[in-house]
Structure formats: structure tokens, C-alpha cells
Amino acid sequence: MAKETPKVNTKDQAKVNKEQFKAQKKEQHQVKLQLTEIPKGPVAQLPKGYKARMIDLYRTSVQPALMKDFDLSSPMACPKMTKIVINIGVSEAKENIQALDLAKEDLMLISGQNPQVRKAKKSISNFKLREGMPIAVRVTLRGIRMYEFFDRFVSLSVPRMRDFQGIDPRFFDGRGNLNIGLKEHHIFPEVNMEKSPKARGMNITFVTTAGDDKKGKALLEYMGMPFKKPEVKKPAAK
């Protein structure tokens, strides 16, 4: 005679399944919180109470000097940097999308912030470019990250430029913003030459509230930007 199988209460089974589902969702939520609260890698959060030395330099030395030079009555009228925008164009991304990933990783290491992928706004048949195709990466730095990048750029990267003779003051746009074009991104010590052997050009824009080139140059010069000195014309021999 066959044994009878014990009857399972469907209500109890549904209750157990519901509790297991809740426990699983709670565990997933905790893992997600850990990933968001403790990020790893080059985009990790700055420690609490951290202060960039360029901020102290601006408040203690640069601001008083600018107020004296331009006869400003209020510190709020002093020009200051608002953001730094870094762009890297990747033309070979049309054929090899991995080149864009490498450029994105390099820019992340250089800036300490996750870059944004830029896409073509219109199609150009001569360049085999279609609208919406990813062709560049961009990052915008503000606050502490902006001052940290400026400090590393002036102190470490600029001295590594080949045949460097100073930043040309003609790179200003007329409103106190400085645009610098670099031929190779290997001047940044964060870039790994083995992973990224090809030199990539980049454009760096230092945006200020100066309003004119004279104040913008004075601001960046006081903060340590090495500008090209004007050539002194020698008197003609008699």
C-alpha cells in the first residue's frame, strides 16, 4: 500500500517564500549601499575636512594681491576660477570603440572624476562620421577637484613638457578664460605608458570670472601658471 504524501499548507509556504524574498532584497540593498558609500579607484571620495593648498593660497596671497593691483574695494570683486574643462578627441573611435574606453580611463586617472562620453552632433560624410557616434570624452572639474588638478598641472605636468618656454598669453579668449592645447597626455604622471602607448592630444580650458584677459592672466600668474615672458628688443647697433 503506497504511503500518503504529507499535505503542504500553501499559506505557510507562501509566507516562507515572502520572508526569503524580503531577506534577499535586504541583502542586495546592503551590498548596494556599501558600493555607493565606499567607492574605490580614482573616483573615490575625498576625506572629510580635506583642504586643497591652492584654496589657502588664493585666500591668503592671491586675493589681497589682486585687490591691490586692480584697486578693488571688496574681496567679492576679485576674479577667481569657477571650473576646468578637459576634452580628449578620439577620432579612431569610429573604427575601434576600445580606443574610446582607453581615453576614458586615462582621463579618469588624470582628473580623478568619471568622464562623460561626447557624441557627434551631425553627420559628416567626408570624415565617415554619423550623428550620435561617440567620438570624445569630457570632464568638468569644480571645487576641490578643480584646485587639485590645477596644482598637479602646474607643479608636475608643465615641467614635463618638451621644449617648454611658457604658456602663450594669446591663448586667452578675451574674457579671461585660458585655453591650452596639449599634443600628448603623457605629461601627466598618472598615465600608464604600457596601457596607453599612443599619445593623445587634449584641450584644457580654465574658466574664470575675470571678464578680461588682463585680470585673468594676473589671477593665473599669481596662482603659479608659468606664462611666456615678452621678448626684450635689443637696441640696434649704431
Domain boundaries, given as residue ranges, for the chain: 76-222
Number of Cβ within 10 Å of residue 125's Cβ equals 7
Instruction: Return the minimum-mean-pLDDT range out of 45-59, 106-120, 217-231.
Output: 45-59
Q: What is the pLDDT of residue 40?
A: 43
Q: What is the average pLDDT across 212-231?
A: 89
Residue type, 195: K
Q: Which of 32-41, 89-98, 163-172, 201-210 has the lowest mean pLDDT?
A: 32-41
pLDDT at 208 over 90: yes
pLDDT level of residue 52 (50, 70, 90 thresholds): confident
Length of the chain: 238
C-alpha angle 111/112/113, rounded to 5°?
Answer: 90
Q: Is there a contact between 154 and 217 (Cβ–Cβ < 8 Å)?
A: no
Res. 206 pLDDT band, cuts 50 70 90: very high
Neighbours of 109 (CB within 10 A): 19
What is 76-222's CATH topology?
A: 50s Ribosomal Protein L5; Chain: A, (3.30.1440)
Q: Which of 185, 101, 186 is nearest to 136 (CA)?
A: 101
pLDDT at 3 over 90: no
CB 173 within 8 A of CB 179: yes
**SS3 state at 26:** helix
At 37, is the pLDDT very low, low, confident or very high (cuts 50, 70, 90)? very low
- Which one has a higher pLDDT value, 164 or 31? 164
- Lowest average pLDDT, out of 34-48, 74-88, 109-123, 202-216, goes to 34-48
Digit-coded pLDDT (tens) for 118-167: 877 777 777 666 777 778 899 999 999 999 999 999 999 998 888 888 89
Q: Which of 83-87, 91-95, 143-147 has the lowest mean pLDDT?
A: 91-95
Least confident span in 8-22, 52-66, 166-180: 8-22
Q: Which residue has the higher pLDDT, 214 or 93?
A: 214
> 172 - beta bridge partners?
178
Amino acid at 231: E
